[in-house]
Structure 1
Amino acid sequence: MKIVILGGGATGMGVAAKIKRLKKDYEVLVLETGNYVSLGACGLPYFVGNEFEDKKMLFARTIEKFNESGIDVILNSKISNINFENKKMLVNSKEIVYDKLVLATGADAFIPKIKGLENIEYHKLTKYEDAEKLKELSNSNNIKNVLIVGAGFIGMELAENLINIGKNVSIVELENQISSRLYDFEISELIKNNLEDNNIKLYLGNSVKEFISKESKILARLNSEEIECDLVVIASGFKPNTESLINSELELSSNNAIIVDKFGKTNIKDVYAGGDCCVIENIITKKYCYSPLATVASKQAKVIANNICDIKSKFNGTIQSSIIKLFDKGVARAGVTENEAKLNNLNIKTVFIKDKDHTHYLKGQKDIYIKLIMNKDDNVIIGGQMYGDKDSILRFYCIATLIWNKTKITESIEQIDLPYSPPFSKTYDIIHIALSKLLV
């Protein structure tokens, strides 16, 4: 059995490693268009911000280690003429055949069409070489003012790290609130205040109309004002890396991501796909969603490998859980937002409360905020968001578990036996308070 995998990211290398553990006699070949595999892309903003210096720490395993386990890797692969019917393709002008194919081509940065963008040197942050170049520039005394286009996870994490190394940072965001698809207004406002309190200049409900190269500077013309900067980073989100597959027999979603079933199978026999190039099912809305997260990619990798090796395995979907650190605070979310619930015509009840993260007689007590969303038709919790100290935010794992298990809010759940100790919480935690308010 010969397995060919397109893409050496989290999904591709996860599938390869799992298959070789299960079926040592299977031939596994990974084709990677770049010159490395197994990059931990989530660490890139922190590498740029000098949180660590050893670039090897960004890579989970070396190619040599994969080779030792029997996995062949071809770097700098130019892949063309994929023939799904005859199970063959051209790779660097050489024909390669397969028994089963895994598409794990990942995602790339979405670059908006902005007048003058092609005339300036701009940067993105999706690959190692992006981070290496940004790190070099950011550590230069010539770079003082940085403009980031987009206030998503990458934009905010990079902004924090640039502030920490002494840069002046501005963020331009098209929406009127931060990450409106992920957070409701109450949480977005807390994020906004955090960024501004840490000297990040925000231009919300705004966009760059034109970039102009001005000697050694770059001028960005917004809706009603101009910003002069030394460095521009485009962080406007991601798009699935499927351009070469658009006119193929593969079934794609509206954003050209690959549609797969719960077993990682595409609509073509013996062709699987997973990770950032795919859409997956949201278990609450039952609709496809695009969720390019490492946690999803690694879980899909295991499912795909199991099914290729005749171990029936199912990917159960997503609640799009995420957590992000912003300076000394953390923000977490899972499930649907209030806005998303309304768009899906769900009959909901919401609570938003502020409390303290631990007992008052110990130093360092801080505010913590939580928003919960419940479907009133069945009393099932379907969404949650939390903002607080970066240590106290970890209690959100409990909320994500309740949402994942489609937990019905009852008196018993209100009394959930959470651990208590004065340095960590109050006897009646903010989670208890929020659950009790849903029952009123």
Structure 2
Amino acid sequence: MTRYVIIGGDAAGMSAAMQIVRRGPDDAKITTLERGSIYSYAQCGLPYVIEGSVAATDDLIARSTDTFRNKYGIDARVQHEVTDVNPEKQEVYGTNLQRNESFTIPYDQLLIATGVDPVVPSLPGTDLAGVHTLKTIPDLERLRSDLHGHREITIVGGGYVGLELAEAFVAQNFSVRIIERNRQLAKMFDADMVEHLHEEAEQQGIELLFGKTVTEVEADDRGRVNALIVDEERFSTDLVVFATGVKPNTSFLQATGVDLNKNGAINVDAYMNTNIENIYAAGDCALQYHRIKEKNDFLPLGTHANKQGRIAGTNMSGETKTFQGVVGTAIFRFIRFTAARTGLSEKEADALAIPADAVSYKGTDIAGYFTEKKPLHIKLVYHTDNKRLLGAQVIGESGADKRIDVVATALFHNMNIDEFEDLDLSYAPPYNGVWDPLQQAARRAK
């Protein structure tokens, strides 16, 4: 019997488990350990339950715990928190939170797929009623139940989750404020591109505070949040959501010898091996190889987690498959706009000391003579010396999604500006101009 233990019951962990079910030995014993109570749910869909596009949290669950147990024969455990791993004995230790009992489970092969936890600043008052984070379905349920009877919501953090939540709250007619310590929203975009999002936020009545730091969460006489102290200035609020980033859930590995990055993410090779024999890692708790940066990076996204989990499970089953890396593609919707990016931004290229130039172009999503055309703002970043395409950012009301995927494909295959201009892209007036705006930007880069 081959004993497989997987820590984590979401995207990476259960993608791996299903590969072992399908490809592994007949005598495989698969045990999965989930700290929470829900398996295989779509974390990225949580804001859209608030916004109204998703009817219920149950719609976000891909497979139930009972499905994994009864249909696939996986020993899928809930409320099992792992607290330590002994690589020499090949044992996993933890606590059954339902019974408040310790457990020990031996393994032949172990996958760490523990994901990430929200980062909450160490401030007075972050434990008050009315202060939230959003990472799990129980987080969402607590937040939704707390919305009733309140009006003013403050979001601390202007990244992906913060902006998606802002959109959701605006759709439900709440008054929204975003506090961001950087000088812009969406710091993964260059400042000149993100101005379009700033304008949209202001048009929707979202209050933006940039370059500001929350120093205290203030309570009313009932012990509920009623204000934030921001650089000595007081801002009243009914509810606060901290969307200030995430950290890998790997603290239990500190004494194991597993190689961790400075932020706690696990270093892995292309086969999802860690530096310790028979221990694999995948998903948000692990690093991903960035094909443009040519080094491991920390980009916790569901697409990467599913791919890495699938590859880990394949290799744990005895077959061989490698992770081909990422190019940094991401996309989100913000009110009327879609904001998409891939590869390197101009500021990232500068930070990496890569000689780069950039070109910006304002086109339209369809043929320019259509009355319903929408502006499409494009920025291409390319290597100064060899004209290799390095990245792109696209923001617009329509058409940004398909353009960014074209650039992501080009980046994956190391195309330069000349080759990019020669791509045979689809054209008909309701869908595009005779020259795609991406290619028009590339021509200006030349």
* TM-score higher than 0.5: yes
* Runs of 4+ with >4 A deviation: none
Q: CA deviation at 1:409?
A: 2.2
The alpha carbon displacement at 1:24 in A equals 5.6
The two structures, once aligned, show a CA RMSD in angstroms of 1.5
The answer to whether 1:9 aligns with 2:10 is yes
**Residue deviations 1:167-198, cap 9 Å, x none?**
00000000001222x11111121121122221
| Match of residue 420 from structure 2 | 413
The secondary structure found in structure 1 opposite 2:218 is strand
CA-CA distance at 1:338 after TM superposition: 0.7
Q: 1:175 aligns with which of 178, 182, 187?
A: 182
Tell me the residue number matched to 1:433: 440
1:124 aligns with 2:127: no
Task: Find the partner of 1:98 among 100, 107, 131.
Answer: 107
Report the equivalent of 2:62: 60
Matches within 5 A, 1:390-401: 390-401=398-409
Provide the rounded CA distance (Å) in 2 between the counterparts of 1:369 and 1:50: 28
Matches within 5 A, 1:265-304: 265-304=273-312
Q: Which residue of 1 aligns with 2:155?
A: 148
- 1:349-388 map, 5 Å: 349-388=357-396
- Whether 1:89 and 2:92 are equivalent positions in the alignment is yes
Equivalence for 1:246: 254
The one-letter code sitting in structure 2 at the alignment partner of 1:204 is F
**1:199 to 2:205 alignment:** yes
Q: In the alignment, which residue of structure 2 is the partner of 1:80?
A: 83
Which of 332, 339, 348 lines up with 1:340 in the alignment?
Answer: 348
- On the 8 A contact 1:280/1:318 being kept in 2, the answer is yes
- SS of residue in 1 equivalent to 2:378: strand
Percent of residue pairs identical: 31
| Pick aligned residue for 1:36 from 35, 38, 47 | 38
Name 2:124's counterpart in structure 1. 115
Aligned AA (1:319): V
Query: Does residue 260 of structure 2 align to residue 260 of structure 1?
Result: no
- Do residues 46 (structure 1) and 26 (structure 2) align? no
Query: For the residues of structure 2 that align with 1:267 and 1:392, how far apart are their CA atoms?
Result: 40
Deviation track 1:197-245 (CA, whole Å, cap 9, x = no partner) reads: 2111110111112221124651112126321111010000100001111
* 1: CA distance, partners of 2:52 / 2:132: 18
Give the secondary structure class of the aligned counterpart of 1:258. Answer: coil
> Which 10-residue stretch deviates more, 391-400 or 122-131?
391-400
User: In 2, are the aligned partners of 1:17 and 1:71 still within 8 Å (CA)?
Assistant: no
- State how far apart, in whole Å, the 2-side matches of 1:296 and 1:191 are: 26
Task: Kindly indicate whether the alpha-carbon contact (under 8 Å) linking 2:152 and 2:239 is maintained by their aligned counterparts in 1.
Answer: yes
**Cα distance in 2 for residues equivalent to 1:11 and 1:393:** 25
1:186 partnered with 2:195: no
Structure 1 position 56, deviation (Å): 1.4
Cα distance in 2 for residues equivalent to 1:312 and 1:160: 43
Q: Where in structure 2 are there 5+ consecutive unaligned residues?
A: 97-101
CA distance in 2, matches of 1:81, 1:403: 40
The answer as to whether partners of 1:123 and 1:134 remain within 8 angstroms in 2 is: yes
The one-letter code of the counterpart of 2:155 is I
2:153 and 2:237 in contact (8 A); partners too = yes
Pick closer, same or farther for the CA change 1:154–1:81 going to 2, 3 Å: closer
1:64-89 Cα deviation digits (max 9, x unpaired): 22121121101111323421111112
Q: Does 1:228 align with 2:236?
A: yes
Count of residue pairs brought into register by the alignment = 435
TM-score by length of 1: 0.95
**Counterpart-to-counterpart distance in 2, 1:255 and 1:94:** 28
In 2 relative to 1, CA 361–436 (structure 1 residues): closer, same or farther, beyond 3 Å?
A: closer
Q: 2:390 is matched by which residue type in structure 1?
A: I
What is the CA–CA distance in structure 2 between the aligned matches of 1:236 and 1:71, rounded to whole Å? 35
Q: Distance in 2 between matches of 1:416 and 1:281?
A: 26
**Matched residue type, 1:257:** A
SS of the aligned residue for 2:311 comes to helix
C-alpha separation between the residues in 1 aligned to 2:269 and 2:393? 28
Query: How far does residue 360 in structure 1 lie from its aligned partner after superposition?
Result: 3.4
What is the rounded CA distance, in whole Å, between the counterparts of 2:6 and 2:46 in structure 1? 24
- Cα distance in 1 for residues equivalent to 2:293 and 2:191: 21
Q: Gapped runs of 5+ residues in structure 1?
A: none
Matched, 1:161 2:164: no
SS in 1 for 2:214: coil
